[in-house]
Amino acid sequence: MPFTLRGDDVCQITQPSPIPNPYWVAFSASAAELIKLETGRDGLPIEASWLEVLAGNQLDAGQTKFSDPIATVYSGHQFGVWAGQLGDGRAILLGDINGLELQLKGAGRTQYSRMGDGRAVLRSSIREFLCSEAMHALGIPTSRALAVVGSKQAVRRETMETAAVCSRIAPSFIRIGHFEHFASLQNVVRLKELADLLISEFYPECSPGKDPYLNLFKEISTRNAKLVAQWQSVGFCHGVLNSDNISALGLTIDYGPFGFLDHFEIDHICNHSDHGGRYAYQRQPQVMHWNMACLASAMLPLLELEYSSEESQALLRSALEDFSVIYAREWQQLFRRKLGLQSQQDGDVALIERLLQAMHDSQVDFTSFFRGLGDLKKDSMPTEIMQRNDFIDRPNIEKWFADYLVRLQSETISDGARKALMNQINPKYILRNHLAQDAIEKAQQDDFSEIQKLQQILSQPFDEQEDFDHYSKPPPIDMQRVSVSCSS
């Protein structure tokens, strides 16, 4: 869907800045299919000029021609503080292709770059590419990554690094920050245009009858409530849940200092710049709820077109309260499935919470534990379960296993069928930080084979893949405390 809003107060036509001697670092044939981009046996575009397009060096590739690429303006709250005007500081929207937006991240300065250089580096581009595609394979709504194009052009961050451009695809990159921007300017005309665009293209169910803008808010909030529940279920930490990083379509976007949990810590912080732990793992649902409150505030003028200010506030407040209910319901359903529970019983939430607390106390590997839980038999003895050896408080976890086995025995499903279902929700493979780091270090030496291998493994995260079993293991001790910088 093309971003059809135009005007200097909405976006600026922005030409990408070329990079010298571009080369392929990574490419997703799966994402290419979405835009009907034909690839050859090598998995790369048959039309060779796509390398130059995705590097930001030209705008035409064969029959595909982009005109008037843009950067959009938005505002937002960063770490809970109003940051004022922001915008696409290093993202340039090339245009629409097969109904999807194609955007270049790292293709040079825009009018909203402020003090930045508009570039991305190889390190962060590889991480975004791998994680976007990994999240898609996990079934979690996300922008897609089409390619990473590298260059030996120097870019200064904490040290000197090399430039890269990550091309990404989404139905739309509209953010909560777009609403906040026009609300902050009291520009109700633009607010209405933005909301109407979303309704017509993505939320047609909100259009019939009364209250389209209230219904739009409810739908955006619902999608993001379900999204963050999915993050929690796979141990994904976004790292920077600023309101300008939240999609109006409920997609995971803006992969920066993200991280998947290895050993389980309820208060894990993946971003070393997050000194107060605002975006720690257990706070993600609360922060997403807070971001929906920012959206509600921004959309208030739209409701006031039909209702008084007091009525509008009451309606949005009531709708906002639904977020916690929807999130809790989704979270409980996901974790029941992770435990192999088909039915719903009153004690399930307490059982889940007891397990997570025990995992936190012993810092048990999140992914490996849930994957291994599928091997458990209903007639197992708690004192004979090997997984109990991962816990410090042995009597406590044995009591938990005893209660869990009783709960399993109340289900009619067989052990084999239960394991098959559990293996469809508990991945064996995730993008662990140490695996990404290994791929990055090799790529910095012009060896991109590890990126391709990880891309292949992570495209089938629920399969056994015996040849790659070691990629499912927890990180070595010296890599267990890796945190990631915001700089990219």
Alpha helices in 72-211 (DSSP H): 122-137, 176-184, 188-201
Residue 244 annotated to the active site: yes
Calpha distance 23→424 (Å, rounded): 37
The alpha carbon of 487 is separated from its chain's Cα centroid by a whole number of angstroms, namely: 18
3-state percent breakdown (helix, strand, coil) of the chain, nearest 5: 45, 15, 40
- Tokens found for residue 331: 């979270």
Calpha distance 102→111 (Å, rounded): 19
Selection from 426, 434, 422, 420 nearest residue 481 by Cα: 434
Calpha distance 318→408 (Å, rounded): 38
- Tokens found for residue 86: 């922001």
Please tell me what DSSP assigns to residue 109.
Answer: -
Q: Report the b/e string of 282-313 with b at 16+ CB within 10 A.
A: ebbbebbbbbbbbbbbbbbbbbbeebeeeebb
How far does the chain reach from its first CA to its final CA, in angstroms? 28
Catalytic residue among 88, 244, 254, 274: 244
Helix (H/G/I), strand (E/B), else coil: 414: coil
Q: Are 224 and 249 in contact (CB under 8 A)?
A: no
User: Residue with structure tokens 């209702």?
Assistant: 307
Q: Are 146 and 131 in contact (CB under 8 A)?
A: no
Phi/psi at 16 (5° precision): -60, 150
Q: Are 151 and 20 in contact (CB under 8 A)?
A: yes
Selection from 192, 185, 206 nearest residue 304 by Cα: 192
Please tell me what DSSP assigns to residue 168.
Answer: E
Q: Are 87 and 48 in contact (CB under 8 A)?
A: no
Helix (H/G/I), strand (E/B), else coil: 102: strand
Phi/psi at 86 (5° precision): -125, -125
Neighbours of 438 (CB within 10 A): 14
The alpha carbon of 140 is separated from its chain's Cα centroid by a whole number of angstroms, namely: 8
| Active-site amino acid positions | 244
